[in-house]
Amino acid sequence: MISGRTWCFGDNINSDLMVPGPVVYATPAEQARAVFSANRPGWVDEVKPGDIIVGGQNFGMGSSRPGARSLRTLGVACLLAESLNGLFFRNAVNFGFLALRCPGVSTAFTEGQTAEVSVAEWRVRNVQTGATLACEPVPPALLKLMLEGGIFPSLERDGLIAPKATKAK
Amino acid sequence: MGMTIVEKILARASGQAKIAPGDLAVVAVDTVLMLDTNFMPDIRREILKVHDAEKIVMVFDHFVPPPDRASADAQATGRAFAKQFGVARLHDIGRDQGISHVIASERAYALPGTTLVCSDSHACAAGALNCAARGVGYPDLVYAVTTGKAWFKVGETVRYDLTGKLQPGVFAKDLFLHISGTYGDHANQNVEFGGGGMASLSIDARRTMTTMGAELSAEFATFEADDILIDYIRARTSAPFEAQAPDADAIYVARRTIDLSALEPLVARPDSVIKNSVPVSQAAGVAINQAFIGSCANGTIEDIAEAARIVKGRKVANGVRFIITPASQAIYRQALEAGYVQILMDAGAVVTAATCGACFGGHMGVLGPNETCITSSTRNFKGRMGDPTARIYMGSSATVAASAIAGTIVHPGNMVRA
Ligand code: SF4
């Protein structure tokens, strides 16, 4: 069970808002500092590890920029959205970030309320209102990647890529 | 129950008799497109093994020629990678330079009925060639390069049946803006195009549509194969392929008919294309600082020809930067031979070498604070082309060229000669 304070975002939150142009090729740490700098400046200083993002429709629309990795780097425990862009979802799986489709979530929560998320039961509960919602189950193979750090660790284990980034900063 | 185009291609590639929405398909990837950006110093991982170098195509496109040291380093690393693993199809700076999604089509690397992945969201462009192509993340890309495989969570398919023919002055981009404006996003769904009207759309126009599938958040965007496509492929390669048609009893989550004859020029207002299109007349009069024609969606010879037709004998408005970036050097050469480059330069436009360039605010046309741009490229997100306070309108290349002359957004019909 995951439990955390919610931050609410609207519909069509795009990849470039999560990973703005100037940091697309910067280090993961530098990228994480820039999340939502255009639409919600200062948010990265307020969000705390364990917090949960509530999104609207089509969360993550846009490019392959790894917004999911930046949210993971910031310590966000989970993303719940009305619907998820497929490419954002792929990056969530492959970078090991829990992102779930949860219809009704954007109206069930106001910012600052606490969400409890159970992937065993695929259920989300609003602790303040008691409302519960179902989320869409993720296929077991993909859930395993999401919860176990994504795909790079297994590629390293299989000797397909070198253990570390070629250049650290 | 029958299958859609994409379901049939994924069934073939995964060795299954049947693929349906909800399945997790693990497929053999026929073509992997790698880009210069895959080798940027701060993000790259060192690949130790390659599954099959003959399935890889490498294209340097985002930062060419390199505007800074990081991209120069990336391209040097990419060249070394190609040499180490014997990747023969490397599109480096020079004769074969261009944007990967256009090269994949120009050179018929993406064959009908096959699968393709690339770590750039607009890989869906190859759907115009009846290819199941998808933009994936960088980890997926590395996975495909090293294992030859990719996974797809299969979604439902929306079918668009096209009828009629676009009126003069109306283009595929307007058709896209009609779809994105009317139906909004298609997250987790595939988009399939067919119907009698597609015969009036060139491969370039179809590729505009499939490229923009990424902007609908579609999983895959594919066209049916027809004689126009088969001739296009056969003019480029003798490689064998098997195009896939949808079954007569394929299941669609929605089926929509669009009469091309009824469409008019549209623009998307800044920040999104989702339910954000208006007739050009409603944005008319908005003053612009920059007009851009280019990108994998609209840097084709047809776009450049149309722009040249509109600006011929006219001058770009004072205070407007009109930048045209052909999608490949092959297109650039065609534009030179046809005299379009001369016409555009005489009007005061800048025609750059083929690259992504201003499309993603990379180089050669980055926007400053509070500027307004009209673009025919792929994306108008806040901050996409530079400063986050810049406003980006999106329209067809004809609308962009007409606006460059007027200095304000105008209907391309205003530039039709008496
Ligand atoms: S032209 Fe634009 S959308 Fe197309 S690949 Fe390049 S950056 Fe991406």
Same domain membership, residue B373 and residue B278: yes
With beta carbons less than 8 A apart as the criterion, state whether B363 and B67 touch: yes
With beta carbons less than 8 A apart as the criterion, state whether B41 and B74 touch: yes
Q: How far, rounded to the nearest angstrom, does the alpha carbon of residue A21 sit from its chain's CA centroid?
A: 19
Q: Measured in Å, how far apart are chain B's first and last C-alpha atoms?
A: 55
pLDDT at B417: 56
Taking only the tens of pLDDT, chain B with its 418 residues reads 899 999 999 999 999 999 999 999 999 999 999 999 999 998 999 999 999 999 999 999 999 999 999 999 999 999 999 999 999 999 999 999 999 999 999 999 999 999 999 999 999 999 999 999 999 999 999 999 999 999 999 999 999 999 999 999 999 999 999 999 999 999 999 999 999 999 999 999 999 999 999 999 999 999 999 999 999 999 999 999 999 999 999 999 999 999 999 999 999 999 999 999 999 999 999 999 999 999 999 999 999 999 999 999 999 999 999 999 999 999 999 999 999 999 999 999 999 999 999 999 999 999 999 999 999 999 999 999 999 999 999 999 999 999 999 999 999 988 865 4
Question: Does the pTM exceed 0.90?
Answer: yes
pLDDT at B1: 84
A161 Cα–ligand 1 center, Å: 27
Same domain membership, residue B249 and residue B187: yes
Burial class of residue B88 (count of CB atoms within 10 Å of its CB; 0-12, 13-18, 19+):
exposed
Q: Which atom of ligand 1 is nearest to the CA of A63?
A: 8
**Strand pairing of B290-293 and B372-375?**
parallel
DSSP H helices in A49-164: 67-73, 86-95, 105-108, 140-147, 152-157
Q: How far off is chain B from A139, nearest CA to CA, in Å? A: 8
Mapping DSSP onto H, E and C, the string for B183-224 reads: HCCCCCEEEEEECHHHHHCCHHHHHHHHHHHHHHCCCCEEEC
B295 Cα–ligand 1 center, Å: 5
Give the pocket of ligand 1 (CB within 6 Å).
B 62, 99, 101, 120, 122, 295-296, 356, 359-360, 377-378
pLDDT at A101: 97
With beta carbons less than 8 A apart as the criterion, state whether B188 and A103 touch: no
Burial class of residue B396 (count of CB atoms within 10 Å of its CB; 0-12, 13-18, 19+):
buried
> B53 is in which domain, residue-wise?
5-260
Same domain membership, residue B220 and residue B317: no
Residue ending a domain, choose from B200, B229, B260: B260
Here the CATH number for the domain that contains residue B167 is 3.30.499.10
Residue ending a domain, choose from B260, B292, B309: B260
Name the CATH superfamily for A2-157: Aconitase, domain 4 (3.20.19.10)
- Break chain A into its structural domains and give their ranges: 2-157
Domains identified in chain B, total number: 2
Q: How far off is chain B from A128, nearest CA to CA, in Å? A: 31
Residue ending a domain, choose from B260, B284, B316: B260
Are the beta carbons of B136 and A87 separated by less than 8 Å? yes
> 3-class SS at A144?
helix
With beta carbons less than 8 A apart as the criterion, state whether B319 and B407 touch: yes
With beta carbons less than 8 A apart as the criterion, state whether B31 and A147 touch: no
DSSP letters for B131-172: -EEEE--HHHHHHHHHHSEEEEE--EEEEEEEES-PPTT--H
